[in-house]
Each structure stands twice: as C-alpha cells, then as structure tokens.
Amino acid sequence: MLKDGTVRTRFAPSPTGYLHIGGARTALFNWLFARHNDGKFILRIEDTDQLRSTKESTDAILDAMRWLGLDWDEEPYFQAERVKIHRKMVQKLIDEEKAYYCICTPEELEEKRKKALSEKRKPKYDGTCRDKNIGRTEGSVVRFKSPQMGVTIVNDLIKGKVRFNNSELDDLIIERSDGYPTYNFAVVVDDARMEITHVIRGDDHLNNTPRQILLYEALGYRVPEFAHVSMILGADKARLSKRHGATSVMTYKEMGYLPEALVNYLVRLGWSHGDQEIFSVPELINLFTLENVGKSAAVFNPEKLLWLNQHYIKESPVEKLAEETRPFFEKLQLNVSDIQYAKQVVTDLKTRSKTLAEIADSSAFYFKDEIEYDKKAAEKFLKVELAEHLRTVAKELPLLKDFTKEGIETFLRSLAERRETKLKFIAQPIRVAITGKTVSPGIDEVMITLGKEKVVQRINRALEYIDKYRK
C-alpha cells in the first residue's frame, strides 16, 4: 500500500489480439481486489510492440472490459506514449553503471546458446560486453547488469516465499536496438510511476519477477506486492486453448452468454468462498481476498459456465433480457419492433433456455406469419382423425372470455371430456399447428402470447394442410 493506505492494482494487456479468458480473470481479480480495498484499478495498454499492436485489438479489449463491467479509474495509459520516460530511466542506469550497451549480433548470441546447451549449461548471456564500456552504435542494445551472486526472494501473496539464485539470472536486455524498452523494463518503470501497490498476474510471469525486483531496486523504486495466480487448464489438464472451446471473451457474448454469468464463472476459477457457487458483483467485492485464491491450477468446465448462464437468464428481469436478446432476434431477421411482444416471447422462453441465442432460435414461430411443420410432428398430430378437434377449437376459442392460463386449461380439458378423448390429442395438435413442433413452452403460454386471432389463423392453416396433404 501507499503511505496513505491506498491500494492500486492494474491490468496491462498487450493489444495483439482479443481479450482471452485468462486475461479476463486476471483483470477481474485485480478489479475486485481494488474495489474490496476501496482502491484504484488502472488499465494500461502495453503497446510497445509496434509490429503486432493494433487499434482494432485495443478497441476489442476495451469493449470486452466494458461488457464485463470492469470499469477503470483513470484514463487508459498507453505504454508506447511513455517511451521517453523509459529511455530516460535506461540512461539513468547507464550513467550509474548499472546497465551497458551490447553489440553481440543475433548470430553470435545463437552460437553462445548452442555452446551452453552442448556443455549442459543454462543458455544465458555470458556477459561478453559487460565491462567493455561500449557506446551506443547501430544495432546495439542495452543490458541490465544483474547481480551475479546472492538470492532474490519473491514474497508471493498466493504462492508464499519463492527463492531465485541471482547466478541463474542473466543480463537481460532492457532496451532494444530500435530504442523501445523490453517488457520487463517498461513494466517496472510504469508500475512504479503509476504507484501500483499490488501486481496480480498469471504465474507464467513468476520467473520474470526476480528480474523485475532487481530493476525496482536498481532504479530506487518501492517494490510492490506480488501475487501470481495459477493457470487455467482444459479438461485434459493442458493449458487452455482453442481446442477446449472459445477462449475469447467476446465470443461468449456472441454465443449468447450474459456478462454476469461469465464474471461469476471466472472468479470461481481459482477463488472460493466456502461452497457458495453463485455471487452477485456486490457480494464478490465484499468477499474477495487473495487469501482465498488457490495455489493449484483451475480447470475450465464449459458445462458449469452454461449452467450458470442458464441461472442468470432465469433470474434476469424480462426488460433487460429482451434488450440483451434483441441482436440475436435481428441476426435471424425477426421483427422485434414491438418490444412489448418481444418481452412476452422472452418471458415464455427464459426458463427453458441456456443462452440468449437459444432464446432467439426457439422464438422464430412467434414472429413468422407462416411456420414450417416438423415432418414427424405433422405426421403424428396433423392428421385427419384429429382434425375435428382442431376445427372445434378454431370455432369455440374466439368465444372464450377467460383467455388466461387457467381459462385456457379449463377450456381444453372440458373440450377433451366432451369429445371423449385424451387431452394430449387436443393439446398436441394445437401445439404443432401454432408452433410447428411438439416441444415448446406451455401451450397456454404460447396461445396467450400469440393472441386469439393468430392462434385461430394458424389452426385454420393447419386444417388446410390436413385437407391438402393428409387425405
């Protein structure tokens, strides 16, 4: 923490692609830790890789953060705009003889690497230029003079104390030949200048941490607290990748997942609070601590995420759900200009659907003037011997005054008794006539949403179908 006790965390993605699941979880943990401690959450775009960084990727990352509800407290920082600061700090280390210019070519470095491997030594830089007092030349890089003796200790808030022998750390490059800083140097300068108190990140960065601690100390900066979160694995215990399913956050939006479900699921990948599975965001902010982050890797389970999404769909207010589903309706070219009607459709389908896409896919019959009959459904229920039941419904339904769930149920049961048949031989033909399928929301719900006029029209159309194709 800072002297005034303020906690400052950060998320620092590289804009070279989309925001993936692992990055989103890292962002979420940093955001929750900051919010829990009434601190600040900083967003920094690490775009110093000029060849791979794109505006499209930056926009995609920001869109994903907004969709997840992970707001940041200051304007996003862009690392490429801070290069002058980085160069100034590189020069400071050179002036203090804590860094030096290196003119070893890539070919020479490759030979050194091969030789080290053949001699069963760690392939680290051998310090050829370390004490030559070389000035800047074309193609030169700047290396940090790493201590060659002693131990650097990382007091990790999740993994505990981790020791690194300095003799295993080489003189890492801190400025490339193009004048841009390397990751390990830029991140130290930026985190220090932005007064980041806690660096929470994936444990694939753990081996970078002793090098960064040495840079903090060489530059005279306060060393932040570190917490390294274990990786997310697929069901086969390999690192999560596309073969395990979607890895992009926005792909889940496109598939019809709610952000609340994804946030809830991501936080449970490595963090727990007893046996509780479902958390609201205010609950997470109140409960989240690093003490409850596990040391072992988390396994990504798409079925669990789908279960959570179904829960949040069921619990969502219908107004919000209808608006969230609108793009999926439109993608299917369904006319949802009547938002009240769309809300009623969503009400019928929300308890039966696992994704927003599934709601839209199941809703087509509500919006289309002419529906297609499932072949097996039509063969079983749109046939001559059941036509008279449908004809009676079409005749008597307009006269039904109690057009409610209870009223429709009473009407259909009474009709089945009068016609001395089982209820299913009336209800199922109606279902196929008005939806085209044998499976749908409750027949009374569908009839109410469609309205008497549409229901009668569709039953009459089904009767025409029977006359034409079933005689």
Q: Which residues are catalytic?
A: 242
Tokens representing 211 are 């090098």
Answer left, alpha or beta for residue 296, where phi above 0 means left and psi between -120 and 50 means alpha.
beta
Dihedral sign of CA atoms 22, 25, 29, 35 in order: positive
Nearest to 170 by CA among 209, 212, 123, 138: 123
The beta strand positions in 191-247, using DSSP E, are: 198-202, 225-229, 232-233
Answer whether 250's CB lies under 8 Å from 318's CB: no
Rounded to the nearest 5 percent, the helix, strand and coil shares of the chain are: 50, 10, 35
The CA–CA distances, whole Å, from 132 to 103, 129, 451 equal 10, 5, 88
DSSP H or E run through 102 = strand 99-102
Tokens representing 204 are 């694939």
For residue 74, give every residue at least 6 positions away whose Cβ sits within 8 Å of its Cβ, in sequence order, or none.
40, 42, 43
Maximum distance among all alpha carbons in the chain?
A: 105
For residue 350, give every residue at least 6 positions away whose Cβ sits within 8 Å of its Cβ, in sequence order, or none.
313, 314, 316, 318, 321, 359
Place of tokens 């039941």: 389
For residue 30, give every residue at least 6 positions away whose Cβ sits within 8 Å of its Cβ, in sequence order, or none.
9, 10, 11, 41, 198, 200
Nearest to 419 by CA among 451, 443, 396: 396
413 vs 256: CA distance, rounded Å: 38
